[in-house]
Structures are given as structure tokens and as C-alpha cells.
Amino acid sequence: MSNSVTPSLTPWSRHALISIIILASIGSIMAAVLFVIPSLIPITDSFWHEWVDEAQAIRPWLASAGFAVILIIGIIGLHRQRHSADGKAEAYHALAQQLSQVANKSEIVINAIGDGVIATDEKGIIQLINPAAQAIIGWGKQDAEDLDYRSVLKLSDDKGNDIPQDAGPVQQILQGGASVTRNDLLLTTASGKKINISLLVSPVGAYGSGAIIVFRDITSEVSENKQRAEFISTASHEMRTPVAAIEGYLGLALNPATAQIDDKARAYLTKAHESAQHLGRLFQDLLDVSKAEDGRLKNDPKIIELVGFVRESVSVLAAKAQEKGLSLVFQPDVTENASNSIAPIFYVEVDSDHLRETMSNLIENAIKYTKDGTVTVNVTADESHTTVSVADTGIGIAQEDIPHLFQKFYRIDNSDTREIGGTGLGLYLCRRLVESMNGRLWVESETGKGSTFYVELSRISADEVERRQTQFGVPQAT
Ligand code: ADP
């Protein structure tokens, strides 16, 4: 809905004014021609005398007619002016009403939401604090408004160290930065209690002209997560040992060199062995996840020749692909054979255990979620980055699942995946491991056509590797 406000001088009133000026001018000229000039010129001719007499006779009529015209135009002009002034007042009134309705609605919404909302101006002075924010922080509206946000919103990092005045998320926004989300900060309330908060700070309008701070208390969520992680870590650690023992003894029972069993018993024990292996992997995944989450994941970067390293990971899983009737292709070898050239050599500097686990998770998934066709692993690079891709011709992933794929315990539940076992931890762990290597992990996929997972890592040039080896004797990881 739009409302136009009438300009201060309408076209009509402008016309009226111009008409009055023109008529007044014409009237003056006529008066001069009819009465002033003839009276100044000595008139001898009788025609002129008659003309002056006649003109003098119609003078009252002319004057009355002129006056009447000027009066009518003036009245019309005034009427239009008044009318337009009325319209203008109405338009202003409607606009004011609309604005106040919008303001009321925004206030109702801001007051109703459960998250704390604080708005500051460009200097960081609090302009608005909603009831949820007042309840979380323990400051009243009257006390908080017009104060610097730092007096009210006292932030510290997860170890309790105060955030420096000019490095906090709100300050970043006030200095023109883009929106900031933080889940790792503590807030000190008016009573001195420290609570965990989830915080989103966004600029108001143009960058640097104020900030909107939205936050909520996540203390209980953080504490629950911590307890859950501790439980998972302890339980999986305790259970991994007996499961490893069961797996080992089942392996011995299945080995013809160490045990004699009939075919029926072999079939049962093979199933038991597979399940024990699956359980062992689950506990290992859980343990790795809890390590990744509480910062116990060790990171020991070494220089790795990537093509050879990935070839190794592929060959370990070749038997698994073969069992399923899939072809597992390592593209650099195919290109090498086809073009009679040598496979390229790319170096990265990462933790070899993290890279091995990531590669094996991605290739295993590609085999697991592909019924028939090919799994192709490739390694490419540009000047500064290397990219490993794992492409399959499998069931694919719907676009709406892709944003959730790397979350903990996320499994896609559909008719294609229901029969396939898993924990929903593999891709989450891959993400954490790739992050720990300062890399990037993403997927491109189409349902029914297959998926390609990419791992991007920083590349180290051959010259740099050589320089480090001669200078420090840096060992290469295998
Ligand atoms: P899971 O143990 O279930 O395999 P992941 O975290 O490895 O757990 O994978 C999460 C989900 O992502 C899987 O349940 C599966 O639905 C989907 N997924 C992973 N890799 C692929 C793939 N290559 N093709 C299709 N779907 C996949």
C-alpha cells in the first residue's frame, strides 16, 4: 500500500497565481493605453475625442469584469490550495498511522520472542532491550537503555577471559563488519553468574550504523552435551576392548590354520565376525568423535605425497568394492596408462592418520551407497590447493539433505538407505578431521545419479619440500 503526500504548491494554485499576475499585467497595459497615454498626447482629432469618451464610458464595465475574473480565479485557486492542504494533512495522518502500526507490530514481535534482543546505535548505546534480554541479563529496561552495551553485555571466552573491548563481536559490527555468530561465549549476568550463550550480531541498515544483538541462554544444552560426550567417550572406550577380543577370537575360529570347523559353523561365525567388526568400528567412531569434540584429537602434520597416499587408501578397499561387483578406479593411474605419462606428484602437510581416516570413510561410503557401477577416486591440484574427489554412480543425495549431511548422527532415511547399516558419524568425523587439517570438505550430488565428495587441502610446492628436507631433514609420512 502506498500513500503520496501532496507537494506544498499544487499545479492548480500555481496556475491561479500565474493567471492573476498575467491579468493584472494586461489590466495595467490596457489602462495605460486607454486612459493614461491618450491623456498625455495632445489630441486634436475628433476621432480620438470620441474614442476617449467611449472608452471612459465602458471603463466601469471593464474594471468590474476584470475584477470579477480576478476574484473567480483567486477563489478557485484558494479552494484548490485548501483542498490540497486538506489532502496533504490526510496523507500525513495515514502515513503516521501506518508507521505507528508497523512500530507497534515490531514491538509486539520483539517483546514476544524468547531470545534476548538488544539494539544499539552506531556508538554502541542501547536503544532497545526486550523483556527476554532483561530476564537473561538481569537488567531492567530503564537501567539498560541509553547505556553503552559493554556495561550491560559483559562477554568472556569459554575459559572465562574477558573479551578485549575492541575485539568483541558487537564491536566488529559497529566497525562495519559482517554478521557474527558465536556459540562459545560466556555472559556475566547482573548478579555475577556466568552463563553460556548463543549469540548472533548483525548490522542495522548500512554497515557501521548500529547493531542488533540476539542471544539465548544455552547453559543447560552445553552441560548436557558435555555429560553425553563424557558418557559416550567412557562407554566406547570400555566396550572397545572386549569387542576387540571377541573379534580376534572369531577371526581365529574362522582361520583354517588355527581351527577346524564345518561349513554351517563357518557361516554363523562369519556373520558374528562381521557384526563384531561393525561394533568395533562404531566404538572407534564414537571415541574419535568425542576426542574431536573435547579437543583431544592429536594433530601431527607431516609432509605427504598425496597421489601415492590416496592410491594406498584406494587399494586397501579394492577387495570390498570387488565383493560388491563394483569397479574402483584410481584416476591418476588410468590417465597415466592412457597417456603414457607419469602420475603427478603433489605435496600436502597434514596429519596422516586424519587423512587416512577421511579417505577411507569417503571411499567406504561410496562403495556402501552404490548398488552397481563405478567408484572413481581422483587427485588434482592448482598452484596452491590439492583436491581429492571420490565420485560414485550410487543412490545420490537429495538437495534438502546436503546441508545436514555433515552433522552428528545424521542419516538419510529412505527406501534406498534403510537396509544399509551405519551410525551417521562417518561424515561428521570427516568434517572434523578435514577442519583440523585446515581443509574444506563438500559434496555435489543428484538423487539416483551418484555423488562426488571433495576434500581440498593446501598444497606445498616441490621446491618448498626440498628446501625443508635439506634444511631440517623433514621426514615424509607414509
Ligand atoms: P553412515 O554411517 O550412516 O554411513 P555417514 O555420516 O558416513 O554415516 O553418512 C551419513 C549419511 O549420508 C548416510 O546415512 C547416507 O544416507 C549419506 N551418504 C553418505 N555418503 C553417501 C554416498 N556416497 N552416496 C549416497 N549417500 C551417502
| CA 427 / ligand 1 centre spacing (Å) | 7
- What is the C-alpha to C-alpha distance for residues 441 and 457, in angstroms, rounded to an integer? 9
Lowest mean pLDDT among 2-16, 69-83, 267-281, 310-324: 2-16
Asked whether 117 and 213 are in contact (CB, 8 A), the reply is: yes
- What is the C-alpha to C-alpha distance for residues 42 and 326, in angstroms, rounded to an integer? 125
Task: Provide the pLDDT confidence category of residue 2 given band limits of 50, 70 and 90.
Answer: very low
| CA 318 / ligand 1 centre spacing (Å) | 19
Nearest atom in ligand 1 to the alpha carbon of residue 392 is 23
Q: What is the pLDDT of residues 335-375, one digit of tens each?
A: 888 887 788 899 999 999 999 999 999 999 999 999 999 99
pLDDT of residue 161: 86
pLDDT of residue 96: 73
Asked whether 450 and 396 are in contact (CB, 8 A), the reply is: yes
pLDDT of residue 332: 93
Cell of 100: 505507528
| DSSP 8-state assignment for residue 477 | P
- What is the C-alpha to C-alpha distance for residues 343 and 306, in angstroms, rounded to an integer? 11
Asked whether 250 and 273 are in contact (CB, 8 A), the reply is: yes
Average pLDDT in the 88-98 region?
Answer: 74
Pairing of β 154-157 and β 211-217: unpaired
| CA 278 / ligand 1 centre spacing (Å) | 15
Q: What is the pLDDT of residues 136-159, one digit of tens each?
A: 999 999 999 999 999 999 999 888
pLDDT of residue 337: 80
**SS3 state at 444:** strand
| Contact 426 CB / ligand 1 (< 6 Å) | yes
Lowest mean pLDDT among 119-128, 198-207, 354-363: 198-207
In the block, residue with C-alpha cell 556459540: 183
* Residue type for position 144: A
| Contact 357 CB / ligand 1 (< 6 Å) | no
| CA 369 / ligand 1 centre spacing (Å) | 7
| Contact 422 CB / ligand 1 (< 6 Å) | yes
| Contact 314 CB / ligand 1 (< 6 Å) | no
Task: Provide the pLDDT confidence category of residue 400 given band limits of 50, 70 and 90.
Answer: very high
Lowest mean pLDDT among 170-179, 255-264, 455-464, 468-477: 468-477
Q: pTM of this prediction? A: 0.58
CB neighbour burial string for 216-251, b if at least 16 within 10 angstroms, e if fewer: bbbeeebeeeeeebeebbeebeebbeebeebbeebe
pLDDT of residue 48: 59
Average pLDDT in the 378-392 region?
Answer: 96
Lowest mean pLDDT among 48-62, 389-403, 442-456: 48-62
| Contact 405 CB / ligand 1 (< 6 Å) | yes
| Contact 431 CB / ligand 1 (< 6 Å) | no
Displacement of CA 13 from its chain's centroid (Å)? 54
Pairing of β 374-381 and β 327-330: parallel
pLDDT of residue 35: 58
Cross-strand bridge partners of residue 476: 303
Mean pLDDT of the chain: 84
321 pLDDT more than 60: yes
**Angle formed at CA 283 by CA 280 and CA 288, multiple of 5 degrees:** 125
Average pLDDT in the 67-86 region?
Answer: 66
CB-based burial label for 70 (10 Å; 0-12, 13-18, 19+): middle
| Contact 139 CB / ligand 1 (< 6 Å) | no
Average pLDDT in the 452-464 region?
Answer: 95
Pairing of β 180-188 and β 194-203: antiparallel
211 pLDDT more than 60: yes
Nearest atom in ligand 1 to the alpha carbon of residue 366 is 23
- What is the C-alpha to C-alpha distance for residues 429 and 441, in angstroms, rounded to an integer? 11
